[in-house]
Amino acid sequence: MSLRAVAHCATASSQELGDLILRLVMIGFGNVGQEFAKMLLSKRDWLLKKKGLDVEVLAIATKTRGSLLTKKSLNLERVLDHLKENGSLVGFGPENTDLSPLQIIDKCDADALVELSTLDIETGEPAITHIRTALELGMDVITANKGPVAFAYDQLRDTARIHGVHFRFEGTVMDGTPIFNLVDRTLPGCEVIGLSGILNSTTNFVLDMMLHGSSMEEAVKEAQTRGIAEADPSLDLEGWDAAAKITALANVLMEANTTPKTVRRQGVTDVSSSDLRRAASEGKKLKLVASASRTGEEIELEVKKRLVGPDDIFYSVDGTSSALTIRTDLMGDLTVFESGPGVTQTAYAVFSDLLLLVESIRNGTL
């Protein structure tokens, strides 16, 4: 249980007994961070009435758009308005700071870190250091950044246990779809012996558009216009994003203790529209599938192109949708399907992790 969060439990003189004030520091304030902030605003009354919870954001750190730090709660509505009007947090007011994210984590009297910085596929940094520092300071941590789970899950999990705090990461794979919580909370006693899924929505969308006549360049541009792909889509098209996701899944659910660099990886940059039409003429579709399988003591990870027919469960996973099959020893195969996710779903994963964090704090469990 986070001692910081317990220290901020409100007394009966200020609120009803059992109410909790949870103070956050946010590292990264892009689309997901802003959507999460909007969620806190829209759900504030619900949180107070139904959960006895008041959430305050004490600091926001960004890489290029300025940072804010205060001893009091930031006015998130004003922060969002200022950012929309100015494209930056600079000039917001006395809360502006030049401190680095690590300095902000150290100086901010927060109970929990919400880490939403950009993925670094080479090392998982600086998010790993942000998270480790917060855990060592006694902060609970929520992240939607897959890098730390893909590169340093065992290390961060053990650090959280040593310091008696929580490390939550539901939003790292398949947006807000509950994968880690599904296994943890509803499959007690089951061993995960394999994983297979379409995990990268950008690639799936691009292949789908190419099948219907677009070039890869046109499909990527459309994905960027819709906010599905980044300005540099190479991490998606070369299979790195899917590799990071299957590694994160295997590290948590199969104790793989590995990194994305061990994944046998293919991308789709060599796929042409004629390839897709040829497959369609045979009643098949080309999909980029990530998988993890156990052979003895070894866990093999791969991302590869696969031709699937109508009898394959992934055949109907089109556009921005994704799916994951979890193979277990006692329950057989379970497949989770996510249809057309967006930034709201990823922000919801952070929000749901926050609710489960509070539940754990109140129950005194890790």
pTM over 0.85: yes
Q: Give the residue from 350, 344, 302, 293 showing the smallest Cα distance to 320.
A: 344
Q: Give the residue from 274, 142, 122, 121 showing the smallest Cα distance to 130.
A: 142
* DSSP output for 304-365: EEEEE-TTSTTTT--TT-EEEEEEESSS-EEEEEE-S--HHHHHHHHHHHHHHHHHHHHHT-
Active-site annotation holds for 245: yes
Cα–Cα distance measured from residue 12 to residue 18, given in angstroms and rounded to the nearest whole number? 8
**184-340 in CATH: which number?**
3.30.360.10
Cα–Cα distance measured from residue 83 to residue 91, given in angstroms and rounded to the nearest whole number? 10
Residues of the chain with CATH 3.30.360.10: 184-340
pLDDT of 258: 97
Whether the bond into 148 is cis, omega within 30 of 0: no
Residues of the chain with CATH 3.40.50.720: 3-176+344-363
Using the 8-state DSSP alphabet, how is residue 9 labeled? B
Cα–Cα distance measured from residue 214 to residue 233, given in angstroms and rounded to the nearest whole number? 17
- Mean pLDDT per 10-residue run, the chain (366 residues)? 49 50 97 97 97 97 96 97 97 96 97 95 95 98 97 98 98 95 96 97 96 95 86 92 97 97 96 96 97 92 97 95 97 95 92 96 86
Q: Which listed residue (146, 245, 285, 287) is catalytic? A: 245
- The type of residue at 189 is G
pLDDT of 41: 98
pLDDT of 18: 60
Q: What's CA 52's distance to the chain center, in Å?
A: 26
CATH architecture, domain 3-176+344-363 = 3-Layer(aba) Sandwich (3.40)
pLDDT of 341: 84
Walk across the sheet containing 322-328 and list its strands: 264-265, 298-308, 285-295, 192-198, 322-328, 333-338
